[in-house]
Amino acid sequence: MAFVIKKDKSYTWPITISEPVDGGQFNDQKVRVKFKMLSQGRIDEIVKNEAEEDADILNDVLIGWDDGAFKDEAGADLAFNEDNKDLILSVPFVRGALVKGFFESIAGKTLRRKN
Q: Is the pLDDT of residue 40 over 90?
A: no
Categorize the per-residue pLDDT at 34 as very low, low, confident or very high, splitting at 50, 70 and 90. Answer: very high
Q: What is the pTM of this model?
A: 0.84
Higher pLDDT, 97 or 45: 97
DSSP of the chain: -PPPP-SS-EEEEEEEEEEEETTTEEEEEEEEEEEEPPPHHHHHHHHH-TT--HHHHHHHHEEEE-TTSSB-TTS-B--SSHHHHHHHHTSHHHHHHHHHHHHHHHH-TT-----
Averaged pLDDT of the chain: 89
Instruction: Say what the pLDDT of residue 62 is.
Output: 97
Mean pLDDT, range 23-40, rounded to an integer: 94
Q: What is the predicted pLDDT for the residue at 115?
A: 46
The tens digit of pLDDT for each residue in 51-106 reads 788 989 999 999 999 999 999 999 999 999 999 999 999 999 999 999 999 989 98
pLDDT (0 to 100) of residue 108: 63
- Mean pLDDT within 19-43: 94
pLDDT of residue 109: 52
